[in-house]
Amino acid sequence: MDIKGIGSGTGVGHTFPAIPKSQPLSGADGFGKVIGELVNSVNNTQLSADKSIQNLITGESKGLHEVMIAMEKSSISMQFLTQVRNKAVEAYQEVMRMQV
């Protein structure tokens, strides 16, 4: 019996971009690149959900469950991005409160 690990299937690990390990990330450039890839990934999931909704409405797709899965995946991706943004803002505010 072969049991696959959590990261081996589809899921959150495949929804969000992975940090490239071949190139060392440096400071703000690396952070900006990761955030940019995350925003693009969330945008792509939202566009995919919109397309699946349109396909359901026009009758090209009969799978309501697939549309609901795409919508939930898009919603969770957006919530994740929002939380990452909130944590980044909190970290920035905390650094700004530090006394030199």
Residue 21 DSSP SS3: coil
Distance CA 78, CA 72 (A): 10
Q: What would the pLDDT profile of 40-81 be if each residue is shown by its tens digit?
A: 999 999 999 999 999 999 999 888 999 999 999 999 999 999
Give me the amino acid identity at 83. Q
Distance spanning both ends of the chain, measured CA to CA: 58
pLDDT bin (cut points 50, 70, 90) of residue 6 is low
Please give the pLDDT value at position 16.
55
Q: What would the pLDDT profile of 21-40 be if each residue is shown by its tens digit?
A: 556 656 667 888 888 999 99
Question: The tokens of 87 are what?
Answer: 């944590």
pLDDT bin (cut points 50, 70, 90) of residue 88 is very high
Residue in this structure with the two tokens 């400071």, named with its chain if needed: 27
pTM: 0.68
